[in-house]
Amino acid sequence: MKNIRLLITGSKGLIGSRLKVQCLQKGYLIKELDHLYPKDTTEYGDLLDPVNVEKTVKDVHGIVHLAAVSRVIWGEKNPKLCWKTNVEGTKNIIKAALRSPHQPWILYASSREVYGCAKEFPVIETCAVKPINIYGHSKAKAEELVMDARQQGLVTGIVRFSNVFGSVFDHHDRVVPAFCRAAIQKKTLIIEGQENTFDFTYIDDVVDGTLRMIEKLDQGISLDPIHFTTQKATNLDQLANVIEKRLDQKLEIKIGKQRSFDVSYFVGNYNRAHSILGWSPQTSLEKGIAQFLHMLKREL
């Protein structure tokens, strides 16, 4: 991988920050694009600025496109920004890649939200795409753009993430960090949709899988959508119990109203990741929560 230069968009986020470290350790040269950097730094960038995007992309061999309006609630609050960032921003990345002399591959970070309310579980990657919220719709549309780019000659891959957790760089109000922070600080834990059930995946497992996808893309192999999941269902009440048990304390819990725009159940099949990449989850929910709580205690 000598002199292979990668661009990571969203490099200061939950997945991007950890992926950047691992890529550097493996010898990749890394460029970054993230609006969270100061505007006077070379790493600063806005997906909606096509000139800057093209300038950033022109000398890279691969693009891991993580940058996005990355939460369902943000999409509901500002649907126009969600669509512009996730769809138009992805268009800018693709256009820049197609114009580049290197024709870099693109690994697009999508979400389980594209499935909406699936009917059969665990969900496989060929399940119908039927999003129910603006965030899911924007991710599904961006996936279409990436698949179209493949038809135009780019090597592409799509990964659909599911409730990734395990980093202090995560948004504090996402379910796992919110629960864990409330527990450590002995605050009331609010559960919105007690029976909401998800497939929680640990950050290290997700980054490992992403690196395996990068290796395939580097070889010129395009990849259809892939899950990194555990194939295990955990509802929010059970998640709270895992945290309680680890901290050996009784949590004060308040049951809130479920949000109308949320998917309430998802468990994903990871057979495709295993067969193509040799990947399987290595971190149980209990172990991942224990490690995350340890990190948070040092920060708080």
pLDDT confidence of residue 143:
99
Least confident span in 29-38, 167-176, 219-228, 256-265: 256-265
Looking at residues 231-235, what average pLDDT do you find?
97
For residue 217, give both structure tokens. Answer: 């893309």
Q: With pLDDT > 90 as the criterion, what percentage of the chain qualifies? A: 87
- 194 has pLDDT over 90: no
DSSP 32: E
pLDDT confidence of residue 2:
60
Q: With pLDDT > 70 as the criterion, what percentage of the chain qualifies? A: 99
- 111 has pLDDT over 90: yes
DSSP H stretches of helix in 155-299: 175-184, 203-218, 236-247, 271-277, 285-299
Looking at residues 27-44, what average pLDDT do you find?
92
- C-beta of residue 176 within 8 angstroms of C-beta of residue 215: no
Task: Set out the domains of the chain in order of their start, with CATH numbers.
Answer: 5-165+200-231+266-282 (3.40.50.720)
The pair phi, psi for residue 26, each rounded to 5°, is -85, 0
The overall average pLDDT reported for the chain is 95
Whole-angstrom CA distances from 164 to 40, 192, 200, 289, 292 are: 31, 18, 6, 12, 12
β-strand partners of 157: 107, 223
Res. 42 pLDDT band, cuts 50 70 90:
confident
DSSP 88: I
Looking at residues 82-89, what average pLDDT do you find?
98
pLDDT confidence of residue 1:
54
Looking at residues 184-207, what average pLDDT do you find?
93
pLDDT tens per residue across span 112-145: 999 999 999 999 999 999 999 999 999 999 999 9
Q: What is the pTM of this model?
A: 0.96
Helix (H, G, I), strand (E, B) or coil at 3: coil
Res. 261 pLDDT band, cuts 50 70 90:
confident
- Helix or strand holding residue 39 (H, E): none
Res. 104 pLDDT band, cuts 50 70 90:
very high
Res. 159 pLDDT band, cuts 50 70 90:
very high
Looking at residues 160-166, what average pLDDT do you find?
98
- C-beta of residue 213 within 8 angstroms of C-beta of residue 273: no
Least confident span in 32-41, 57-66, 122-131, 262-271: 32-41
pLDDT confidence of residue 259:
80
Neighbours of 2 (CB within 10 A): 6
The residue among 172 and 266 whose pLDDT is bigger is 266
70's CB contacts (< 8 A; 6+ apart) are: 10, 13
